[in-house]
A and B are shown apart, each in its own frame.
Chain A
Amino acid sequence: MKIIRPYGDTTGDGRVQLSFTLPVPAGDPAQRARAEGAALQLAAKMGMDPAMVVHTKAMGPDFTFFIVYGQVQHLVDLSAVTVAEREYPLLSPQEVNLRIRTALGRKLVVVGACVGTDAHTVGIDAILNVKGHAGEKGLEYYREIRVVNLGAQVSVDELAARAKREHADAVLVSQVVTQRDAHLAGARALATAFSCPPQTDMANAAETAEIAEMAEPAGSEPPPRPLLVVGGPRFDASMAADLGVDKIFGRGTTPREVASYLAYAVTGPGGGAARAGQQEKPRTGTAAI
């Protein structure tokens, strides 16, 4: 067991900084003294003891901004920290391509979109566009990945239909807007759209045949749905099962991480496992909803 505290300039000093606004005036000295008292009370209740208000600024007649430094008494128990470890190896583009080619013998198809009212394509574009993000090229750059980027404000039904038409191996959805938990609603809607057996909304026999062809020789088993991958700055990576999707990527995700994950999830840890088999695990996640 390892116990630590925040580090200012001495081991164990517990120093932290904090800034916040209180809806109190600080126009005259008396108001200011009272406002600082209020700030110190908050700091004390947050466990900062002693605390010191280092900056007080009136913002208009009704609000005051504070910067507070102080010492927290809390201990961090490192042995109790849990981290969602990456369950897949980080591969180079060449390795990703090789893995896909070996395992699938065809291109891996990714359909991406921002769903619902979300018009923020920055995230999905950063992952999909050749241009990429953080110095890494996007998925369009990978020779063995075929990318269909539907852009912004796509309905979940539209996305599901297109994914089916494109024989998508994976569906990537970016959700940036979080007001009223729009991102969570979007992710759930996605999971729901793909949870119905594909046969029920088959338009015609030809399409049925196409889908059947796509399925692995497992025979009577329903064709696997694509991997459902959701990303956005405000997601909690551990919520995948709860939301009914296979994987959640948070802030700072790079295209290479997504490509590595897709290569791993579609081809399996050995790199050569049949795709249908690898769908088993994600599908249980869906069943949970």
Chain B
Amino acid sequence: VTAAPLAPPQASPPPQAATVTPKLGLDSAVVAEARRLAEVAGRPIVEMARTHTTVSVERAVLRLADLEGADEDGMPWVNRLTEAVRTQTGLTHGVALPVWDALVRGDHRDLPGLARAAAAGTARFRIPTGDQAAAARHAATHAVGAGLHRIDARRAERQAMIQRIGEPAMPWIYLIVATGDIYEDIPQAQAAAREGADIIAVIRSTGQSLLDYVPEGATREGYAGTYATQQNFRLMRAALDDVSRELGRYVRLTNYASGLCMPEIATLAGLERLDMMLNDCMYGIIFRDINPQRTFIDQRFARQIHARAGIIINTGEDNYLTTADAVEGAHTVVVSQLLNEYFGKEAGLTDAQLGLGHAFEINPAVPDSFLLELAHAQLVRELFPDAPLKYMPPTKHMTGNIFGGYLLDAFFNLCGVMTGQSILLIGMMTEGIHTPYLADRDLALENVRYVREAAGSLGADFRPGPSSPITRRAHQVLDESVQLLRKIGTEGLLAAIADGTFGITKRPPDGGRGLDGVIRRAEGYFNPAAELLSPAEPLKGAVS
């Protein structure tokens, strides 16, 4: 069986993570306790994810087996096929068994043919047993394994390109493109790369996170962003490959594995060699009102794919500070980072793939606000020394005074270089006024270049004393984080989310969108991708 030798490739070396010098005198016992509590809080969630599946996880399995395209209404074949199976047999055994059973029986030429027949109502599905089940499992593992091989190949290709073309120095400069039209995005992204961007993020169209399907093809219309589609991924990656060769540094591409199709988008990202994906453990729940159970189940599979694909995830803790106060809520950021780390590692991600997020969002009117920002940023740096931390610029206190905003962005850049942040999302002085003009982006890059050149090595001389306000603040935030984690461990993470612990909004476990797509796995549930991706879910006799 060709699917058998599926040893994941060697993890890529961490992208030149600078050594982090501890400066805050954090107590390693307290840090270890925080991690232990995060695991206590997260373990029941992982258990739930291991015993359930979702429609999007099942559709991702079909995508790994190379089922692309959509019907004339634009509804993807993976949706059509999954719906048909769900109607006839349910999904408690997974989509793979009934689908490959139907293929093995020989009434359909191939997977696309079966999908069309299923959509037309002419395909018959059943849950096979005995030898027939073994044959279906064997065929499914073969087909899905081929998809994982393609993801492995894209990962190897990335590593080869980085070696050949060159790796940019950290901090990586992260810029956003969001026109809604992929053919406008491409020249803008290339221009941004030429202006100094190391990472291009294509913001998704508003509302895509609530679509329970992934749109198809190259798209030219979106609201405040461009749809994430496989073809758009492909086009943008190819354009950035061109500009990477031109510039002599590998320019990374970022998109969003979030919302109702998180596992499928993660899969498409792996197949099309995207490099980083926004993928937060709670963002969709809190900010998009997606059902908590759906989110956690989808997320685990998505992260297993990201781990396999060598993709760096970006978590979304910065968002909490847009609703909560950045001083009062500082510990919720740390708590969420620790949870993201636990969930990420459980799914197979390495430290070098954990782009944990945080933000410079303290009200500038607060006395010593910059000291507090330094304390928070340094704390996160020391808690996660090997993670490519993603640091987000001020948004909440950008008032429309572009001159003041430019100054605030400079302080953000300074805090970022002083505390050794890995990825800097570049702040725009026109934040909150309009999507960035060409000149805004140019000025923003001028700002970060100046700070980097003027103060890039200041971090080495930055030594807050043991009783300085910076050190004391960092310790306080860590202590508050431990307290909150203890509380979450006692009441349960789902209950904590329902209470509004993160980002103020309250999200009950049975509320939100997408709960109808959550299915409890039956005895005999079969998901070839999950088994190939996770040693903890051993193959059930399909592969000899």
Is the beta-carbon distance between B323 and A152 smaller than 8 angstroms? Answer: no
Tell me the minimal C-beta distance from A209 to chain B in angstroms. Answer: 28
Residue from the list A118, A125, A153, A179 in contact with B323, Cβ < 8 A: A125
Q: Which of B76-84, B144-152, B159-167, B435-443 contacts A (4 or more CB under 8 A)?
A: B435-443
Within 8 A of A (CB), among B190-231: 191, 194-195, 205-207, 209-210, 223-224
Is the beta-carbon distance between A152 and B288 smaller than 8 angstroms? Answer: yes
Q: Which of A33-41, A56-64, A76-84, A278-286 contacts B (4 or more CB under 8 A)?
A: A56-64
A121 to B505, CA, bound (A): 10
Interface size class on chain B is 20 to 34
Encode A4-28 as 1/0 by CB contact (under 8 A) with B: 0000000000000001110000000
Is the beta-carbon distance between A57 and B442 smaller than 8 angstroms? Answer: yes
Neighbouring B residues of A57 by C-beta, 8 Å: 442
Is the beta-carbon distance between B207 and A153 smaller than 8 angstroms? Answer: yes
Is the beta-carbon distance between B191 and A117 smaller than 8 angstroms? Answer: no
Neighbouring B residues of A180 by C-beta, 8 Å: 223
Could you jot down 26 A-B contacts, CB within 8 Å?
A19-B439, A21-B438, A21-B439, A59-B438, A60-B194, A65-B438, A65-B439, A65-B442, A117-B206, A117-B223, A119-B209, A121-B287, A121-B323, A122-B396, A129-B504, A131-B323, A131-B324, A131-B325, A149-B505, A152-B287, A152-B288, A153-B210, A153-B288, A179-B180, A179-B224, A233-B432
Tell me the minimal C-beta distance from B48 to chain A in angstroms. Answer: 23
Is the beta-carbon distance between B288 and A122 smaller than 8 angstroms? Answer: no
Chain B residues within 8 Å of A, Cβ to Cβ: 180, 191, 194-195, 205-207, 209-210, 223-224, 287-289, 322-325, 396, 400, 432, 437-439, 442-443, 504-505
Given contacts A65-B439, A119-B206, contact A125 B223 (CB under 8 A): no
Residue from the list A21, A121, A233 in contact with B437, Cβ < 8 A: A21
Within 8 A of B (CB), among A117-164: 117-119, 121-122, 125, 129-131, 149, 151-153
Neighbouring A residues of B224 by C-beta, 8 Å: 177, 179
A153 to B290, CA, bound (A): 11
A35 to B243, CA, bound (A): 27
Is the beta-carbon distance between A151 and B180 smaller than 8 angstroms? Answer: no
Tell me the minimal C-beta distance from A265 to chain B in angstroms. Answer: 27
Interface flag for A106 (CB, 8 Å): no
The 8 closest A-B pairs by CB, nearest first: A117-B207, A65-B439, A59-B442, A21-B439, A117-B206, A151-B289, A179-B223, A125-B323
Interface flag for A184 (CB, 8 Å): no
Q: Give 6 new A-B contacts, CB below 8 A, not counting A20-B439, A117-B206, A179-B224.
A: A59-B439, A125-B504, A151-B289, A152-B288, A153-B289, A179-B180
Neighbouring A residues of B194 by C-beta, 8 Å: 60
| Chain A residue nearest to B399 in the complex (CB) | A252
Tell me the minimal C-beta distance from A117 to chain B in angstroms. Answer: 3
Residue from the list B180, B195, B288 in contact with A119, Cβ < 8 A: B288
| Chain B residue nearest to A150 in the complex (CB) | B289
Tell me the minimal C-beta distance from B331 to chain A in angstroms. Answer: 16
Tell me the minimal C-beta distance from A114 to chain B in angstroms. Answer: 10
Neighbouring A residues of B205 by C-beta, 8 Å: 117
| Chain A residue nearest to B446 in the complex (CB) | A57
Chain A residues within 8 Å of B, Cβ to Cβ: 19-21, 57, 59-60, 63, 65, 116-119, 121-122, 125, 129-131, 149, 151-153, 177, 179-180, 182, 233, 251
Neighbouring B residues of A65 by C-beta, 8 Å: 438-439, 442-443
Given contacts A131-B324, A153-B289, A182-B223, contact A251 B442 (CB under 8 A): no
A119 to B505, CA, bound (A): 14
Tell me the minimal C-beta distance from A138 to chain B in angstroms. Answer: 10
Residue from the list B191, B206, B400, B504 in contact with A118, Cβ < 8 A: B206
Tell me the minimal C-beta distance from B511 to chain A in angstroms. Answer: 10
Neighbouring A residues of B223 by C-beta, 8 Å: 117, 177, 179-180, 182
Interface centre among A59, A153, A233, A251 (most CB of B within 10 A): A59
Neighbouring B residues of A131 by C-beta, 8 Å: 323-325, 504
A131 to B439, CA, bound (A): 35
Interface centre among A19, A57, A117 (most CB of B within 10 A): A117
Residue from the list B324, B439, B505 in contact with A151, Cβ < 8 A: B505
Tell me the minimal C-beta distance from A161 to chain B in angstroms. Answer: 16
Neighbouring A residues of B324 by C-beta, 8 Å: 131
A63 to B440, CA, bound (A): 13
Given contacts A19-B439, A131-B504, contact A119 B191 (CB under 8 A): no
A50 to B349, CA, bound (A): 62
| Chain B residue nearest to A67 in the complex (CB) | B439
Neighbouring A residues of B195 by C-beta, 8 Å: 59-60
Residue from the list A21, A60, A182 in contact with B191, Cβ < 8 A: A60
Given contacts A21-B437, A60-B194, A182-B223, contact A129 B442 (CB under 8 A): no
| Chain A residue nearest to B435 in the complex (CB) | A179
| Chain A residue nearest to B191 in the complex (CB) | A60
Neighbouring B residues of A149 by C-beta, 8 Å: 505
Tell me the minimal C-beta distance from A200 to chain B in angstroms. Answer: 28
Neighbouring A residues of B288 by C-beta, 8 Å: 119, 152-153
Is the beta-carbon distance between A63 and B438 smaller than 8 angstroms? Answer: yes
Neighbouring B residues of A182 by C-beta, 8 Å: 223
Tell me the minimal C-beta distance from B393 to chain A in angstroms. Answer: 15
| Chain A residue nearest to B442 in the complex (CB) | A59
Tell me the minimal C-beta distance from B188 to chain A in angstroms. Answer: 11
Neighbouring A residues of B180 by C-beta, 8 Å: 179
A152 to B324, CA, bound (A): 17
Neighbouring B residues of A60 by C-beta, 8 Å: 191, 194-195
A180 to B207, CA, bound (A): 15
A19 to B403, CA, bound (A): 12
Neighbouring A residues of B323 by C-beta, 8 Å: 121-122, 125, 129, 131
| Chain A residue nearest to B441 in the complex (CB) | A59
Is the beta-carbon distance between A177 and B206 smaller than 8 angstroms? Answer: yes
| Chain B residue nearest to A133 in the complex (CB) | B396
A131 to B437, CA, bound (A): 32
Neighbouring B residues of A153 by C-beta, 8 Å: 207, 210, 288-289
Residue from the list B191, B325, B400, B438 in contact with A251, Cβ < 8 A: B400
Neighbouring B residues of A121 by C-beta, 8 Å: 287, 323, 505
A130 to B505, CA, bound (A): 11
Neighbouring B residues of A151 by C-beta, 8 Å: 289, 505
| Chain B residue nearest to A138 in the complex (CB) | B504
Neighbouring A residues of B504 by C-beta, 8 Å: 125, 129-131
A149 to B325, CA, bound (A): 19
A130 to B324, CA, bound (A): 10
| Chain A residue nearest to B433 in the complex (CB) | A233
A278 to B432, CA, bound (A): 36
A151 to B207, CA, bound (A): 13
A116 to B210, CA, bound (A): 11
Neighbouring B residues of A177 by C-beta, 8 Å: 206, 223-224
